[in-house]
Structure formats: C-alpha cells, structure tokens
A = this chain, B = another copy of it.
Amino acid sequence: MTAATSGIDVRLAMPQALPAVERACRIPGGFLAGGRAIGIKASGRPDLALIVAGGGGPAAAAGVFTPNAFAAAPVRLSRAVLAASDGWVRAIVSTSGSANAATGAAGDADQARIGKLTASALDIQPGDVLHLSTGVIGTRLPLDRVAAGLGDLAVALTATDAGLEAAATALRTTDSTTKVATVSVALPGPDGTPRGVRVTGIAKGVGMIHPRMATMLSVIVTDASASPAVLSRILRPAAARTWNQLSVDGDTSTNDTVLVLASGAAGAAEIQLGSASFASLAAAIEAVARDLARQQASDGEGATCLLTCQVSGAVDDSDARAVARAVVSSSLVKAAAHGKDPNWGRIAGAAGNARLPDAAVLAAAGLAVDVAAARAGTAVDIDPDRLRIAIAGHLVFDGSQGGPQAFDRAAARAAMAGPEILIRLDLGLGNGLGEAFGCDLTEAYVRENSEYTT
C-alpha cells in the first residue's frame, strides 16, 4: 500500500451526483439586475445592488436567515415580507458597507424606508421587496445616498450577464473576488420538449478591512418555474448541506441571508414535488450553493487554502455533517492546515467533540430539521476503535488497526501545500455522509481582526 493510494475512499453520493458548475455569471430569463457605488463604503467601491423580476409578474421566492438573536433589520424585514407575500416578490435590494444590525427601532425604520424607496423607483409595492445588507454593525445607513442611488440604478438595470455581475460585485465587502456560479439544465416544457433553464448564484463571503461580524450573503436566481413552497423544499436541505457546513471563524453573523428567486421565464413546466424536474432543479441549486460555499471558504479572512472535510460511515447524514463541521471549525486543525502539518490528533480530538445542532437553532435558521428531536443537541455517535482518518490522501489513523498508522510525512506535507486540503473520516458505523468547508487559520486573520477598529 503506497501512501498516495492509502486514503479513505469516501463516496459522497450527493456531490458526485451534482451537475457541473460554471464559474460564470449568466443571468437567467426574467430578471434585470445592476449595481453601483453610492458612497456607503468609504472606499468608493460598489455598494448598492438591485435584482428585479422583469417579466411582468412576481417571482417565487424562498429564504434562509441567520439564527443570531441580533438578526439585522434587513433580515427581520425580509422574513416579514416573505411571510406576508406568501413567497411572491419582485425585487431584492442590497446595501453593503453598513450591516444595519443592532441599530434598534431607528434601523428598522431606515430599512422600511429603503423598501419604500425601492418600491417607488421600480413602481412596485414595499411588500414586493426583499432586503440584504452587510458591513459594520451598529452604524446607520445613509438614506439620502440610498434614495438617490436607487433612483439612478432603477433606470440602469439590464437583463444581461454584466448586470447581474455588477450586482454580485456590489454585494462584496472585502471579498477578494466576485463570487458567481451557474448551472444549466434542461427541464421539460408544458409540451414535454426540453427547455434550457439556468440556475445562477451570486454571493459575498467573509472578509474584513474594518472589523465587523463575518457575513455571508447569497442569492440564487433561476428562470425555472416553481412555487415558493417548492423552492423552499429545495432550498432548505441544500442550504443545510452547503452553507450550513461553511465555517470561517465560528462566529455566526447577524446578517447571513440566502435567497432563491424563480422567474419561470424559461418556459419550462411548473415543477411539482417529487417529479424528475424537481430532482433536476434541486441538484442544480445545490450544485450552485456548494460551489459558492466553497468559494466563500477559500476567500475566508486571511485564508491561504480551502479546508474540506468529508465524512462517511456515520450513523446518519446529520452525524456526518456535524463531525465534518467540528473538524473544519477547530482552531487547532485550522492552524495545522496553515502549517501543512498532518496533525491527525487534532482532527480526532475535534471529531470527538462533535455534536448535533440543537433543534431551536435549526428552526430559527429555517433550515431543514432532519435531526430527530430526541437527538438534537446531543453528541455524535463516534467510536475511536472504528474511526479512520486520511489527510490529503494519506491514511494516518485507523482505529481498527491499532490507531496511528505509519505514513510518509514529507509526502503528506507536500500534498497539503495546494489550494485545497481534503480531510476524510470514515466512522465505520453506518451509511451517513456529509462534508464541510473551511479555511486555514493564519496570522493574517488575527491581524485583520485586531489591527483595525470599527
């Protein structure tokens, strides 16, 4: 057995079954979009974005939001709009540079005013508008600039790839890249002939120049036709397997938001629960979500590499995801990843601490609660004598074979030097699969978060 082939072959069904993702921004039919700089950010970078359902009717929408008790004003307003509209909306407005979090009743009033300004500029109703914001906590948004900017931007929206990419760029704070992903699928039309459908995601990750809560915003737009209820059924498990498995520094933001909008403009038949089209669209949305989450992890504050943990052999998928999340969230594992140190003891220790998320947090986040109530919040089933660990393709620990395994440390270190470090664990207990995405912990992270004041 050579070191290079001794890794655990973790067969992750879902990711392997997901369609290919193109890291390009291709706007689906039925949407207009744009972004511009209006001076919320001192840097002068783009900080206002609009995505609008341009086909005459509203778009179906679904969302998941931060469970943080300090959920920001835009998060609370978006939740209310989704509930009141039964998931039918016409626009997303996004500001960056100020989170409008912990701003109290004044912040709520500001966000409501932005809803009215957006509605006025687009000739729709405030109840048609979903809200995103990201940036410094505790600062107010400059409403005069937002008002002027919305008026200018509303007349400059385009149904082009460039328009949506401009919106993606305006989501960014200190992201080093604009994050986009597109999947194209064919879904049957009402007459049975296939129609080309696009699923396009844009996102911002976590980065800081002026310290603030790490924030994550993502929007997926598609020209598939689906009801809000169907979109929600697709989004929640997809988010649970992708964004909920993303950790940069363990701090859950006040502003995290994921929205999915479907315009129906591709002319494909409306997707019914349980149909083949449902599975196709779900796979496309999850593929986009997974790719965006990986982009966000790669671009974590101070990060030099993506840290992926894949887990098989758990009692169930929830356990597998909890273990994967514990591993990529461990400061010690993250520091070892930075040092290219195949330090399996830290991985075993982190896995041994894994526990299932508690039901209240899952419910607050609006994620799919596929954790049995009796098990929520409890420790994961794990048996050191059955656990196997592979780092970058090198089997380093096998509990059924006495534990620590001899391996080529120099080769393992070399294999850890690339843009992604893959840690695989097999728990040897069942068929549960899961993965999680993080990044290394670097001195740059500490510098970025300690050298500047809000």
Q: Which A residues lie at the B interface, using CB under 8 A?
A: 67-71, 99, 101-107, 136-138, 211-214, 249-254, 329-332, 335-336, 338-339, 341-346, 348-353, 355, 358-361, 364, 376-380, 382-385, 397, 399, 402-404, 409, 413, 440-443, 445-447, 449-454
Contact B211 A249 (CB under 8 A): no
CB neighbours of A384 from chain B (8 A): 69-70, 102, 104
With beta carbons under 8 angstroms apart, the residue of B213, B360, B361, B404 that contacts A138 is B404
CA distance A377 to B358 in the complex (A): 5
Complex CA–CA separation, A380 to B153 (angstroms)? 42
A351 to chain B minimum Cβ distance, whole angstroms, is: 7
Task: Say whether B251 contacts A403, CB under 8 Å.
Answer: no
Give A391 Cβ to nearest chain B Cβ, in Å: 12
Complex Cα gap A330–B248 (Å): 12
Contact B137 A345 (CB under 8 A): yes
Residue on B nearest A103 in the bound complex, by CB: B403
Q: Does A251 contact B331, Cβ atoms closer than 8 Å?
A: yes
Residues in B with CB closer than 8 Å to A99 are 345
| Residue numbers in B under 8 Å from A413 (CB-CB) | 453
Decide yes or no: A349 and B213 within 8 Å by CB, A361-B355, A403-B104, A453-B339 being known contacts: yes
Instruction: Given the known inter-chain contacts A213-B332, A446-B335, please indicate yes or no for A345 contacting B379, CB distance below 8 A.
Output: no
Residues of B within 8 A of A355 (CB): 358, 360-361
- As for how many copies of this chain the complex holds, the number is 2
User: CA–CA, A102 to B341, complex, Å?
Assistant: 18
Which of B101, B344, B378, B449 contacts A377, CB < 8 Å? B378
Say what secondary structure dominates the interface of chain A.
loop
Contact A253 B339 (CB under 8 A): no
A138 partner residues in chain B, CB cutoff 8 A: 344-345, 397, 403-404
User: Do the beta carbons of B364 and A332 come within 8 Å of each other?
Assistant: no
- Distance of A351 Cα from B106 Cα, bound (Å): 21
Do A336 and B450 have beta carbons less than 8 Å apart?
yes
Give min CB distance, A261 to chain B, whole Å.
27
Q: Is the CB of A450 within 8 A of B137?
A: no
- Cα A440 to Cα B449 in complex, Å, equals 11
Task: Return the chain B residue nearest A382 by Cβ.
Answer: B69
CB pair A449–B339 under 8 Å, yes or no, is yes
Q: Which 9 A-B pairs have the closest CB atoms?
A: A377-B377, A137-B345, A339-B450, A335-B449, A69-B352, A358-B377, A70-B352, A104-B403, A68-B352
Q: A104-B385, A378-B377, A404-B102 are in contact. Are A251 and B447 (CB under 8 A)?
A: no
Once the chains bind, are A68 and B349 in contact (CB under 8 Å)?
A: yes
List residues of chain B with CB within 8 A of the CB of A345. 99, 101-102, 136-138, 212-213, 254, 454
Cross-chain contact A379 with B364 (CB below 8 angstroms)? yes
Please, how many angstroms separate the alpha-carbon atoms of A454 and B341 in the complex? 8
Establish whether residues A379 and B361, one from each chain, have CB atoms under 8 Å apart when the complex forms. yes
In the assembled complex, the Cα of A67 lies from the Cα of B380 at a distance in Å of 12
Q: How far is the CA of A106 from the CA of B403 in the complex (A)?
A: 9
CA of A397 to CA of B102, assembled, Å: 9
Report whether B211 and A346 are in contact in the complex, using a CB–CB cutoff of 8 Å. yes
Question: Cβ of B441 and Cβ of A443 under 8 Å apart?
Answer: no
Most buried by B among A70, A71, A253: A70
CB distance from A443 to the nearest CB of B (A): 4
| Cα distance, A442 to B358, chains bound together (Å) | 31
Q: Report the nearest B residue to A446, measured CB to CB.
A: B443
Residues of the B chain whose Cβ atoms lie less than 8 Å from the Cβ of A351 = 69-70
B332 touches A214 (CB 8 A): yes
Which chain B residues lie closer than 8 Å to A69 at the CB level? 351-353, 379-380, 382-384
CA distance A329 to B353 in the complex (A): 15
- Interface CB pairs A-B, < 8 A, 27: A69-B351, A69-B380, A69-B384, A70-B349, A70-B352, A99-B345, A104-B384, A104-B385, A104-B399, A104-B403, A211-B335, A214-B332, A249-B331, A251-B331, A254-B349, A335-B445, A339-B452, A345-B454, A355-B360, A355-B361, A358-B379, A377-B378, A440-B450, A441-B450, A443-B443, A443-B447, A445-B446
Chain B residues near A335: list those with CB within 8 A.
Answer: 211, 445-446, 449-450
Interface centre among A106, A253, A343, A441 (most CB of B within 10 A): A343
| A140 → chain B closest CB, angstroms | 9
